[in-house]
Amino acid sequence: KTKIIEFGRFAEERRNKRGEGKPETFDFLGFTHYCSKSQNGKFRVKRTTSRKKFRAKLKYFAEWLYQNMHTEIGDLIK
C-alpha cells in the first residue's frame, strides 16, 4: 500500500493556507510519526507507539493475566 502524504517542515503552513488541519501521520516500524515543534519552535518529527501495536500487546497481556489468574504470586515472580 503506497500513499503520498504531505509531511515535513512546511506541511503545516501549506495546509493552514488551504484551510486543512494538521499534517497527516504515518505508521512505520511500530511507531506513529507526526509533525511537531521542539521547545525552540523548530520543526521536529515526533514518534509515539502505534495504536495497532499497543492494542495487540494489551490483548496479549490480558490473555496472559486470565491464564495466570490463580497462580500464586511467588510462582509468578520466578
What does the pLDDT read at residue 3?
83
Residue 3: inside a domain, yes or no? no
Q: Is residue 5 part of a domain?
A: no
The three-state DSSP-derived secondary structure of the chain is CCCCCCCCCCHHHHHHHCCCCCCCCEEECCEEEEEEECCCCCEEEEEEECHHHHHHHHHHHHHHHHHCCCCCHHHHHC
Whether 28 is in a domain gets the answer yes
Prediction pTM value: 0.69
- Whether 58 is covered by a domain: the verdict is yes
Which range of residues forms the domain containing residue 36? 10-76
Q: How many domains does the chain have?
A: 1
Position 2 in a domain: no
pLDDT by position in tens, the chain (length 78): 688 888 888 888 888 889 888 888 899 999 999 998 899 989 899 999 999 999 999 999 999 989 988 988 888 888
Does 45 reside within a domain? yes
Tell me whether residue 4 is in a domain: no
